[in-house]
């Protein structure tokens, strides 16, 4: 049953990917545990891009419009998906979300997944890149305990680094653990509170736009 579910999901994800490529909308899937600071990162990121590129955000949560309201407050095009009892976004939900959002051609879209370090890793949404957000309050052993999420990630945002002096998180060990499950993983140490590390993250976002367009994922064979 799970295999069939995932096969169906991959079909819809492929349709999403095709639509996003045709409309030149570069899409990142932000994943991480509840409270990792995914929305806070977006609240920093979207204004910092300073209108260089139109940004749309698709918010996923079990319930409430709270995150969509936060994103609306910073002036981005946003839609909220509520999954009810569901614990992840799937490609079908994102397809409906894209319809509602109508991201403009040449834009950037963030999909903030439901807070969960487990099954969002299994569901392709048709995004170009997957980013996992891990806050230093969660512990440096998380990449070893939840390896699948880190294995599928294209980048890791090590978040809330302003709290490092107050928590037992060992930065070197955390990075080592992440790279043990995902060798070469690109990592950004960042604080959305202080803005430390934000520049490198923004520079990468600016760089991946054209690169993602030309990526093998887009040009690869349909499933």
Q: What's the closest the beta carbon of residue 112 comes to Mg ion, in angstroms?
A: 6
Q: What's the closest the beta carbon of residue 112 comes to Zn ion, in angstroms?
A: 15
Looking at the Cβ atoms of 67 and 127, the one nearer to Mg ion is 67
Question: Which positions ≥6 away from 149 have C-beta within 8 Å?
Answer: 31, 117, 118, 120, 121, 132
Among 97, 87, 17, 25, smallest CA distance to 59 is for 97
DSSP code of residue 154: S
95 belongs to the binding site for Zn ion (CB under 5 A): no
Residue 39 interacts with, from Mg ion, Zn ion, none (CB under 5-8 Å by kind):
Mg ion
Looking at the Cβ atoms of 119 and 200, the one nearer to Zn ion is 119
Q: What's the closest the beta carbon of residue 59 comes to Mg ion, in angstroms?
A: 7
Q: What's the closest the beta carbon of residue 184 comes to Mg ion, in angstroms?
A: 28
Handedness of CA 71, 69, 76, 153 (dihedral sign): positive
67 belongs to the binding site for Mg ion (CB under 5 A): yes
Question: Which positions ≥6 away from 163 have C-beta within 8 Å?
Answer: 135, 136, 137, 191
Both tokens of 107, joined, read 């834009």
Q: How would you class 203 by CB atoms within 10 Å of its CB: exposed for 0-12, middle for 13-18, buried for 19 or more?
A: exposed
Residues 25-44 that bind Mg ion (CB under 5 A): 38-39
Looking at the Cβ atoms of 67 and 140, the one nearer to Mg ion is 67
Looking at the Cβ atoms of 149 and 190, the one nearer to Zn ion is 149
Neighbours of 213 (CB within 10 A): 15
β-bridge mates for residue 192, sequence order: none
Residue 88 interacts with, from Mg ion, Zn ion, none (CB under 5-8 Å by kind):
Zn ion
Question: Which positions ≥6 away from 79 have C-beta within 8 Å?
Answer: 57, 58, 59, 68, 97, 100, 101
Q: What's the closest the beta carbon of residue 120 comes to Mg ion, in angstroms?
A: 13
For Zn ion, the binding residue among 53, 119, 167, 200 (CB under 5 A) is 119
Q: What's the closest the beta carbon of residue 33 comes to Zn ion, in angstroms?
A: 13
Distance from C-alpha of 164 to C-alpha of 135, rounded to nearest angstrom: 10
Looking at the Cβ atoms of 26 and 31, the one nearer to Zn ion is 31
138 belongs to the binding site for Mg ion (CB under 5 A): no
For Zn ion, the binding residue among 88, 130, 159, 160 (CB under 5 A) is 88
Which residues of this chain interact with Zn ion, rule CB under 5 A? 87-88, 119
Where does this chain bind Mg ion (CB under 5 A)?
Answer: 38-39, 67
């Amino acid at each position: 049953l799970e295999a069939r579910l995932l096969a169906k999901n991959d079909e819809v994800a492929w349709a999403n990917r095709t639509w996003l490529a045709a409309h030149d909308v570069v899409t990142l899937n932000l994943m991480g545990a509840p409270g990792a600071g995914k929305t806070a990162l977006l609240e920093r990121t979207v204004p910092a891009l300073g209108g260089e590129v139109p940004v749309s955000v698709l918010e996923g949560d079990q319930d409430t419009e709270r995150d969509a309201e936060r994103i609306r407050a910073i002036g981005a095009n946003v839609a909220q998906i509520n999954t009810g009892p569901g614990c992840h976004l799937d490609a079908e939900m994102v397809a409906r979300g894209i319809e509602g959002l109508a991201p403009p051609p040449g834009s950037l879209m963030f999909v903030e997944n439901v807070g969960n370090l487990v099954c969002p890793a299994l569901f392709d949404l048709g995004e170009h890149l997957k980013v996992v957000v891990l806050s230093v309050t969660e512990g440096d052993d998380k990449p070893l305990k939840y390896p699948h999420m880190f294995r599928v990630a294209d980048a890791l945002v090590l978040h809330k680094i302003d709290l490092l002096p107050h928590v037992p998180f060992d930065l070197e060990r955390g990075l080592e653990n992440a790279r043990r499950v995902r060798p070469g993983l690109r990592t950004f140490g960042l604080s959305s509170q202080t803005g430390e590390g934000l520049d490198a993250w923004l520079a990468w976002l600016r760089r991946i736009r054209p690169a993602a367009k030309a990526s093998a994922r887009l040009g690869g064979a349909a499933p």
